[in-house]
Amino acid sequence: MAVQNGKDLLIKIDLNGSGNFETVAGLRATRVSFNAESVDVTSLESAGGWRELLAGAGVKSASISGSGIFRDAASDERARQIFFDGETPDFQVVIPDFGTIEGAFQVTAIEYGGTHDGEATYEVALASAGQLTFTVL
């Protein structure tokens, strides 16, 4: 795979539940993490005392985080609304030359900051709230 431009990794939010996705405004850095818990089924009969894991078991999850500059755009307003209302709408994550991940996420954190001689910044964290789909680009 060729080197990819970081600005092409996008977080998009469904603005009104209609499948109308818009890129979260002002993001400068984005991170996506996938996790799968393991289920240990090791017993005294395990070959050589090696750990055994149960295939296909355990909880899968994804988390997304991003940081950027505050723009007070429609996507910023929607993220705040989702947080305060406790909603779990659909988001999309576009990963260049890989695909698009889509599904329900909960906004678990929003942080705002700034200095007297700089721009207002924000950080957002999301946690998967159901099954995700993957579409190859």
Q: What is the CATH number of the domain that holds 104?
A: 4.10.410
Q: Radius of gyration (Cα) for the chain, nearest Å?
A: 18
Whether 76 is in a domain gets the answer yes
Whether 110 is in a domain gets the answer yes
Whether 82 is in a domain gets the answer yes
Measured CA to CA, the distance from residue 37 to residue 129 in angstroms comes to 16
Whether 1 is in a domain gets the answer no
Q: Which domain holds residue 123?
A: 6-136
Which position has the token pair 């505050």? 70
Measured CA to CA, the distance from residue 32 to residue 66 in angstroms comes to 9
| Residue 1 confidence (pLDDT) | 58
Whether 113 is in a domain gets the answer yes
Whether 103 is in a domain gets the answer yes
pTM of the model: 0.84
pLDDT at 7 over 90: no
Mean pLDDT over each residue of the chain, to the nearest integer = 90
Percent of the chain residues past pLDDT 70, beyond the cut: 96
Asked whether 125 and 62 are in contact (CB, 8 A), the reply is no
Domain count, the chain: 1
Closest CA to 92 of 64, 124, 123: 64
pLDDT at 36 over 90: yes
| Residue 132 confidence (pLDDT) | 96
CA distances to 32, 37, 96, 103, 132 from 100, in Å? 12, 23, 8, 10, 10
Whether 111 is in a domain gets the answer yes
